[in-house]
Amino acid sequence: MSGPSVIFSVLLLGSGGFLVSCGWARIIEARGTRMHSRSHYYGWWTFLIVVIPSLVFFIFWSICTNLYLENKASSSCHTTAGDMAQSCSVLVKMAHDLAHKLVLDDHFRNSQEDHDAVLQNILGKRKILFSLDNKEHIVSIAIEWAQRIKKFHMIGTIITFVLAILSCFVGIFSVSPERRSRNRVECVTVFWLMLASSIVILITVGIVLSMLFQTISFFQSVSLANFFFGTVWDPRFSAVDSEEVVGQFGLIPLLAGTLYIAFIAMLFAIPVGLFSAIYLAEYTVPWLRGIIKPLLEILAGIPTIVYGFFALAVLGPFLHDLSIFLASGHAFIMAQSALTAGLVMGIMLVPFVSSLSDDIITAVPRSLRDGSFGLGATQSETIWRVILPAAFPGIVASLLLTASRAIGETMIVVLAAGVVARLTINPFEAMTTITVKIVNQLTGDFEFNSPQTLVAFALGMTLLVLTLLMNIVALYVVRKYREQYE
Amino acid sequence: MRKGDVCHTTPMRRDIGLRQRYRAEMRFRAYGITAISIGMFFLGVLLWSVFSKGYSAFWQTSLTLNIRFDAAIIDPKNIRDHDSQVLFTANYPLLVRNALAEKLGVPSDDHLALHEVSHMFSSSVRVQLRDLVLGHPQLIGGIQKVTFLASADIDSAFKKQINLAGSETRRKISNRQIEWMHRLSADGSLHRAFNTGLFTLTASNRPETSGLGVALVGSLYMMLIVLVLSLPIGVAAAVYLEEYTHKNRFTDLVEVNINNLASVPSIVFGLLGLAVFVNFFGLPRSTSIVGGLVLTLMTLPTIIIATRSALRAVPPSIRSAALGIGASKTQTVFHHVLPLAVPGIMTGTIIGLAHALGETAPLLLIGMVAFVANYPITPMDPATALPVQIYMWANEAERAFVERTSGAIIVLLVFLILMNIASIVLRRRFERRW
């Protein structure tokens, strides 16, 4: 019996228990006894005690036995393969695949040649050039493994079903007027709700831990100074036979590119976004606002890959041609440049700036405006001298949030900024960013544990810390400088 | 006594720089209008450039010809009865070339011309005719009317995307081919048809035979996974935070985490997916299940935040009334508060899904940039996603791929617009003001 069918049968059993308990509770109620809970709560209680313990046990059992068997196989592999620890993990992996194929198909258990055929098939699929000296050995390990899997799985299934059936009977027979089923079911519900909300914490922990472990193992082969203060980015990929040459992983050019492109983007987005927000909040009539605001929000809803394509196929070539036209033949703007990426990113950020600032400006109370108008100020003077100072902390916070988005933006820079890591101040040349390098290092075929790929996690960690810092500063600004109006 | 005298004796108004101030006011308004027009202008240019480049991708140039299935070409040694391999490896493009050459009156010894003829149709005819012959072996020796794709260059030329007036050496299509094209289109064998291939075909290195099939299926799987996982978990978390707990250290921690997760760059979620799901749990790379899980993690904060604000909008009087007539806390929440918050939750979920549908960066890291030629049967099979397919096509050098890319962007935008309209309609229709 396969895993999914076990789970399905347990669910079926639980539903059966639900119906029986529910019906039984109704019969008791029909006889005129007053029950503590409504009848369906008895049903739900039975369902929960059938399903939850047995499934938790089943999943736990499967994971544990898998780990145990893997451990056992690798230890028996070690005793025979000796000191070749590197090839041992490959052997175990092959034995693992073979064993799982054998479990699925009883036919293969009959003769030795079939094992060989399956093994060849697996080797062919994995494209491993591997001498088959230890072939018999692998096959014997795999057969043993497969038998153990079958045995453990059988034991697990039996225990699961015994557990489910027992708790089904317990649930059905405990249906009685005094039983406080509703409270129990509600207790389980609240527990589930709490579990769900702690998943959010789990995700954060997962993000931080996964990055941290890979980053630490990266810094075991590359020094901190090389990464944080290096000015050359050259992670050589051909580190197969030259063990010492690990390449240079200088963060500085990437960080400079990231900040520079984000700066260009903000240079475009801040004036356009802020002035749009001010105009929308203070000057427009409601019907016009009702048209323009959704239109700007469309800009926010367009996926970043579309902006990237726009930069690559439209704006980049346009700026390139423009520079040829302006400098009469000499193209001083590259097709992929920091300017193109920054400009397109700026377009993307306009709606973020404008909608965040719009909310903040409209939150400034009416009385401040009226006071200013009463003193004879014009509308623009009111905005400059009264409203903007009042809204200032909120606007700074929203700009910081927008900037953190600019730093973490990936698709636009991947398509439009270029891949060459260079330290330059010229915005017309190609630059590269942290996110581009993360994508570059992790797309394609490679060995996972080399510093060339692990550096992506160190870069990701840097990115995470940068954006978190910006958020914290934004929060601090809002808390510290917020004006309280009644 | 004349009143006019009084008027004349009133002092001149003191100059308080009103004119200057009003001018500053006008300037300020002009800045605002300029800023909004810049935003609108770029929105217009963006949409216009995508649509003007991409609308033609929904039509594809095809050829319809009577093709003679010459036994001498398919199976020269007449061994197909006992060797089925022959039908697999036969030179099917030659059949099409001969038929086309015959139609155009190209002599069979003019090799240069024949070469140009064979560049007029897509190399996908090989598979198409092979499947046709394998399905109906009795066709061999007979004549059958077949519709097949023209090559990408002919397609571009027929859609007038290539400047045909320029010098012959600067384009991929010769004058002779253009003349043939016009002749074929005049007698109706070359025609435009709706491009179903854009939606059904899979990955290919030829522009005319590549389509979004795998990407659509992969995106559908991922959206289902995101919906099934993030909706119950997100709603449960929001209900717990909003209805069950008072402010304490645990809720503070969760709150900080939600706000931080909402602002974590999406590429970091890709790193998480690679490190945890692929390397730690050993799930296969470039599959929709991993993509769906990563997108779920990204969508959760959106759904939690939307659900919380929807729950907060339900007035406390509803809760008091339910509690007052004897409902338990859980009954109050699940029977009365949650149903009233459903429109808000739905709106938030749809917006979250729309974001997930357009997300590209994390999917690149978990290996969804793959050449997938077969439809994924289960979520455990390799697949691509709609935005990833756009990314891959955007990186292709060939000109005809620009059209396909824009077409794919239009498909993506249409999906997003439909989802946003759905959320707006839901909000308008079911939103209640208390």
- In angstroms, the CA B301 to CA B295 distance is 11
CB distance from B359 to chain A under 8 Å?
A: yes
Our count of domains for chain A comes to: 2
- Cα separation of A104 and B53, whole Å? 51
CA separation (Å) from B362 to A117, B37, B191, B273, B295? Answer: 38, 34, 41, 8, 8
Please report where in the chains the tokens 């810092």 appear, as a residue.
Answer: A469
B32 touches A at CB < 8 Å = yes
Q: What pLDDT does residue A112 have? A: 53
Report the distance separating Cα B113 and Cα B133, nearest Å: 27
More confident residue, B353 or A199: B353
Backbone angles phi, psi at B222, to 5 degrees: -65, -40
- The two three-digit tokens of residue B422, written as one number: 């759905």
User: Do the chains contact at B360 and A303, CB–CB below 8 Å?
Assistant: yes
Q: Which of A179, A203, A234 is the last residue of a domain?
A: A179
User: In terms of residue numbers, what domain contains A267?
Assistant: 248-485
Residues of chain A contacting residue B232, judged by C-beta atoms under 8 Å apart? 196
Residue A223 lies in a domain: no
Statement to judge: residues A159 and A260 lie in one domain: no
- Please indicate, yes or no, if residue A230 is contained in any of the structural domains: no
B108: its two tokens = 């069979």
Q: Do A156 and A299 sit in the same domain of this protein?
A: no
Q: Which of B252, B253, B352, B356 is nearest to B304 (CA)?
A: B352
In this structure, the number of other CB atoms found within 10 A of the CB of residue A175 comes to 24
Dihedral angle computed from the Cα positions of residues B290, B292, B294 and B299, in that order, rounded to the nearest 10 degrees:
-170
Who wins on pLDDT, A19 or B75? Answer: A19
What pLDDT is recorded for position B234?
A: 94
Query: How is residue A103 written in tokens?
Result: 């479990």
Amino acid letter, residue B421? I
Residue A50 in any domain: the answer is yes
Q: Which CATH architecture has domain B213-430?
A: Orthogonal Bundle (1.10)
| A404–chain B Cβ distance below 8 A for any pair | yes
Residue appearing with tokens 């069918």: A5
Look at residue B283 and give its three-state secondary structure.
Answer: coil
Name every chain A residue with its beta carbon within 8 A of the beta carbon of B261. Answer: 200, 203-204
Take residue A473 and report the two structure tokens written for it.
């500063």
Burial class of residue B58 (count of CB atoms within 10 Å of its CB; 0-12, 13-18, 19+): middle
The pLDDT tens digits of the residues spanning A57-75 come to 999 998 898 888 888 877 7
From the first residue on, what is the mean pLDDT of each consecutive set of 10 residues in chain B (434 residues)?
52 76 92 93 93 87 85 78 76 85 82 84 84 81 85 84 74 82 85 85 83 92 95 94 85 83 90 87 86 94 92 92 93 93 91 93 88 85 91 85 91 93 85 70
Show Cβ contacts of residue B386 under 8 Å, excluding neighbours closer than 6 positions: B212, B215, B216, B218, B219, B357, B408, B411, B412, B415
What's the confidence (pLDDT) of residue A46?
Answer: 92
Model pLDDT, residue A86? 55
* Boundary (domain end) residue, out of A141, A162, A179: A179
- Residues A168-198 have pLDDT tens digits of 999 888 888 888 889 999 999 999 999 988 8
- Are A302 and A393 in a shared domain? yes
Chain A residues closer than 8 Å to B274 by CB = 442
Contact A368, A385 (CB under 8 A): no
Q: Is A484 helix (H, G, I), strand (E, B) or coil?
A: coil
Note whether residue A147 is domain-resident. yes
- What DSSP string describes B67-126? EE--HHHH-TT--TTT-THHHHHS-HHHHHHHHHHHHHT--TT-HHHHHHHHTSB-TTHH
CATH number at residue A341: 1.10.3720.10
Question: Considering only CB atoms, which chain B residues are within 8 Å of A309?
Answer: 50, 390, 394, 405-406, 409
Residue in B closest to A467 by C-alpha: B264
Residue A239: its pLDDT value, please?
Answer: 46
Pick from B32, B263, B271: which is nearest to A283 by CB? B32
- Residues in chain B within 8 Å Cβ distance of A305: 358, 360, 387, 390-391, 394, 409
Distance from CA of B57 to the nearest CA of A (A): 16
> In this structure, are residues A81 and A87 in contact, taking their beta carbons and an 8 Å threshold?
yes
* CB B426, CB B347: distance < 8 Å: yes
Residue A276 has a pLDDT of 93
Distance separating alpha carbons of residues A138 and A435, to the nearest angstrom:
43
User: What confidence score (pLDDT) does residue A484 get?
Assistant: 64
Instruction: Please give the share of chain A, as a percent, with pLDDT higher than 70.
Output: 84
Contacts of B35 in chain A (CB under 8 A): 271-276, 279
Q: Nearest CA to A146 among A120, A123, A119?
A: A119
Q: Which residues of B touch A274 (CB under 8 A)?
A: 35
Assess whether A310 and A407 both reside in one domain.
yes
How many whole angstroms separate alpha carbon B337 and alpha carbon A87? 60
- Name the nearest CA neighbour of B224 among B288, B306, B305, B300: B288
The pLDDT score that the predictor gives to residue B321 is 95
The whole-number pLDDT of residue B75 equals 78
* Dist. CA B291–CA B287, nearest whole Å: 7
B236: left (phi over 0), alpha (psi -120 to 50) or beta: alpha
pLDDT band at A241 (very low <50, low <70, confident <90, very high): very low
For A404-454, how does the pLDDT look when each residue is reduced to its tens digit (9 = 90+)? 999 999 999 999 888 787 788 888 888 889 999 999 888 866 666 777 888
- Mean pLDDT over all residues of chain A? 83
pLDDT digits (tens, 9 = 90+) for A341-392: 999 999 999 999 998 898 889 888 889 999 999 998 999 999 999 999 888 8
Of B42, B244, B364, the CB nearest to A193: B244
Distance, in Å, from the CA atom of B196 to the CA atom of B199, rounded to the nearest integer, reads 6
Residues of B in contact with A207 (CB under 8 A): 264, 268-269, 272
Say whether B267 and A463 touch across the interface (CB within 8 A). yes
Q: Is B175 on the interface with A (CB under 8 A)?
A: no
Asked if B278 and B285 touch (Cβ cutoff 8 Å), the reply is yes
Terminal Cα-to-Cα distance of chain A (whole angstroms): 67
In this complex, the residue of A283, A409, A414 whose CB is nearest that of residue B29 is A283
* Closest-CA residue to B114 (of B210, B182, B38, B180): B180
Euclidean distance between CA atoms A146 and A158, whole angstroms = 18
Distance in angstroms (rounded) separating the CA atoms of residues B96 and B63:
10
Calculate mean pLDDT across residues A35-45: 88
**What whole-number percentage of chain A has pLDDT above 90?**
32
Helix (H) or strand (E) holding A22: helix A3-30
The residue whose two tokens read 């009977």 is A169
Chain B residues with CB inside 8 Å of A283's CB? 29, 32
CA A255-A260-A266 angle, 5° bins? 125
Distance CA B27, CA B21 (A): 10
- Check CB contact of A381 with chain B, cutoff 8 Å: yes
ipTM score: 0.88
What is the chain B residue with the closest CA to A299?
A: B43
Single-letter amino acid code for the residue at A79: T
Running DSSP on this structure, what letter comes out for residue A33?
P
Q: In what order do the strands lie in the sheet with B59-68?
A: B143-149, B59-68, B190-194
What predicted TM-score, i.e. pTM, was given to this entire model?
A: 0.86
Cβ A279–B46 below 8 Å, yes or no? no
B345 in Cβ contact with B399 (< 8 Å): no
Rounded to an integer, the average pLDDT of A36-56 is: 90
- The nearest CA of chain A is from the CA of B155 a distance in Å of 20
Residue-wise pLDDT tens digits, A60-115: 998 898 888 888 877 777 776 555 555 666 667 777 777 776 666 554 455 555 66
How is residue B308 written in tokens? 């919380």
pLDDT of residue A127: 46
Tell me how far apart the alpha carbons of residues B417 and B413 are, in angstroms, rounded to a whole number.
6
CB A364 within 8 A of CB A426: no
- Residues 6+ away with beta carbon under 8 Å from B7: none
Same domain for A365 and A476? yes
Whether A242 is covered by a domain: the verdict is no
Examine the pLDDT at A238 and tell me if it is beyond 60: no
Token pair in block for residue A217: 């193992």
Distance from C-alpha of A103 to C-alpha of A110, rounded to nearest angstrom: 12
B332: closest chain A residue by CA = A186
CB B293 within 8 A of CB B229: yes
The verdict on A273 touching B (C-beta cutoff 8 Å) is yes
User: Is A211 close to B268, i.e. CB distance below 8 A?
Assistant: yes
**Where does B273-399 have alpha helices with state H?**
288-313, 316-324, 329-331, 338-358, 361-365, 386-394
Q: How far is A142 from chain B (nearest CA, A)?
A: 19
Inter-chain touch A408–B268, beta carbons under 8 Å: yes
The 3-state DSSP class for residue A44 equals: helix
Q: Do A457 and B271 touch (CB under 8 A)?
A: yes
Q: Which token pair is A389?
A: 């100072």
**Who has greater pLDDT, A335 or A446?**
A335
Q: What is the pLDDT of residues A245-276, one digit of tens each?
A: 567 888 888 999 999 999 999 999 999 999 99
CA dist., res. A280 & res. A278, Å (int) = 5
- What's the token pair of residue B346? 């739905």
8 Å CB contact between A304 and A342: no
Q: Which of B235, B272, B396 to mutate to test the interface with A (most CBs of A within 10 A)?
A: B272
Establish if A202 belongs to a structural domain.
no
Phi-psi region of B107 (alpha: psi -120 to 50; beta: other; left: phi over 0): beta
